[in-house]
Amino acid sequence: MNHLLLLAALPGALLAQTLEGTWQGTLTPPNQNDGIRLAFKIDKNGNTYQGTFYNLANGRQLNLGAITLQGNAAKIAIPGNGMNYEGKIEADGNSITGTLNQGTNPIPLPLKRATSETAWELPPPPTAPKPLPEGTKAEFEVASIKPSPEGQPGKGGFNVTATELRSRNTSLADIITFAFEIHLTQLSGRPGWAETERYDIAARLPQGGEPSNAQLRTMLKNLLQSRFGLSFHTEKREISVYAISIGKNGPAGIKMVKNTTNGTRIGSQGLGRVTFSGITMAGFAGQLQLRVLDRPVIDQTGLTDRYDFTLNWRPGEFQFPSASAAQRAYWASAAGADALPDLFTAFQEQLGLKLNSTKAPADVLVIDKVSKPSEN
């Protein structure tokens, strides 16, 4: 009887800790005075935890990845921004002492379980962007194309705001491969200046809504025809490609987190250190062939959902062709790089996918005619 009374006096010895609920805390990054309010909203589906991460400073929210609780030790992955939270639930069951980690820089983040009186107002789920009105022509209202100033920093890439598309130091080859979603090896018959002549582009978008990615690419295709006089045809050829497929453990082995909260967002902390949020496998393949690999990438997964994940690997000699040899060498030997796997192994270990080198039939765009852009 005395033994039972002793246990009854120590309820913590009988009650298992739980992560269900909303946890909130303020993160104070180094050299910053203002804290960032963050929250984790966690529930349970059978024996599996799931939930959402909120950044109240910018209104962003991301689906949580793997959530584990062993004893009082909690681990929470946030694949959409490459972060992990690790902490220990205190004896009261309503406090966690822990750190938020991104890379090798953990920052203290104590959390408290929110109550009806203390809970912060969390941002609502994001609304879908308003599409362009039906019947809107997929054309820029006006576009400026000028030779890039010599020595100007930056190279390629397209920045889209609510009113315009901008790009600098962009070649004709850059525009074509982006607009048609092909690799440079799928572009045949290009003149020598297509890669060496570079341009700054400022193009005003049609108003009344947000164009889709497909509409933006159509606008660029129309720009190529009207300002560069591009004419072409396509041919199906068997070429060397990389193929993305589901890993050896099948769909159950996929380690990516489905995204139900945000549009597509890509972040990079250097070559081989990338976070993806809200991206499809087709979009992922497109990013790899556009920025990372030396041949086309095709999606053979059959997956149609959007995903959040982080991919960290040691970049190879022939990856990131637009980067300088010095940049590639730096990131291949940066702190912690030796512990990172190569890209093929990272696909298996971090995503549950496979990346294979193979041959497959693919469209090749053959340029019939093109000229340097007409005056503005």
> In the prediction, which pLDDT does 345 show?
97
Q: From first to last of its 376 residues, what are the pLDDT tens digits of the chain?
A: 444 333 334 444 434 678 999 999 999 888 777 899 999 999 998 888 999 999 999 888 999 999 999 999 999 999 988 899 999 999 999 999 999 997 667 899 999 999 999 999 998 887 888 999 999 999 999 999 999 998 887 776 889 998 999 999 999 999 999 999 999 999 999 999 999 999 999 999 999 999 999 999 999 999 999 999 999 999 999 999 999 999 999 999 999 999 887 778 888 888 999 999 999 999 999 999 989 999 999 999 999 999 999 999 999 888 998 888 888 888 888 877 888 999 999 999 999 999 999 999 999 999 999 999 977 6
Which residues lie below 8 Å from residue 110, measured CB to CB, with a gap of 6+? 25, 95, 96, 97, 98
Q: What DSSP string describes 3-52?
A: HHHHHHT-GGGTSPP---EEEEEEE--TT-SS-EEEEEEEEEETTEEEEE
Q: How many CB atoms lie within 10 A of CB 375?
A: 6
**Nearest Cα to 104, choosing from 348, 273, 350, 307?**
273
> Does residue 274 sit within a domain?
yes
> Does residue 130 sit within a domain?
no
> In the prediction, which pLDDT does 103 show?
67
> Does residue 128 sit within a domain?
no
Q: Is residue 146 domain-shared with residue 190, that is, in the same domain?
A: yes
> In the prediction, which pLDDT does 16 show?
61
Structure tokens at 15: 């009650």
Q: Is residue 247 domain-shared with residue 216, that is, in the same domain?
A: no
Q: Is residue 246 domain-shared with residue 332, that is, in the same domain?
A: yes
> In the prediction, which pLDDT does 151 show?
82
> Does residue 375 sit within a domain?
no
Number of domains the chain is built from: 3
Q: Is residue 101 domain-shared with residue 176, that is, in the same domain?
A: no
Residues of the domain holding 312: 238-362
**Nearest Cα to 81, choosing from 255, 322, 273?**
273
In one letter, which amino acid is 124? P
Q: Is residue 193 domain-shared with residue 265, that is, in the same domain?
A: no
Q: Is residue 304 domain-shared with residue 196, that is, in the same domain?
A: no
> In the prediction, which pLDDT does 10 show?
41
> In the prediction, which pLDDT does 11 show?
43
Q: Are 238 and 190 in contact (CB under 8 A)?
A: no
Q: Is residue 352 domain-shared with residue 257, that is, in the same domain?
A: yes
Q: Is residue 271 domain-shared with residue 298, that is, in the same domain?
A: yes
Q: Which of residues 61, 96, 113 is at a domain's end?
A: 113
Q: Is residue 333 domain-shared with residue 275, that is, in the same domain?
A: yes
Q: Is residue 209 domain-shared with residue 260, that is, in the same domain?
A: no
Q: Is residue 249 domain-shared with residue 342, that is, in the same domain?
A: yes
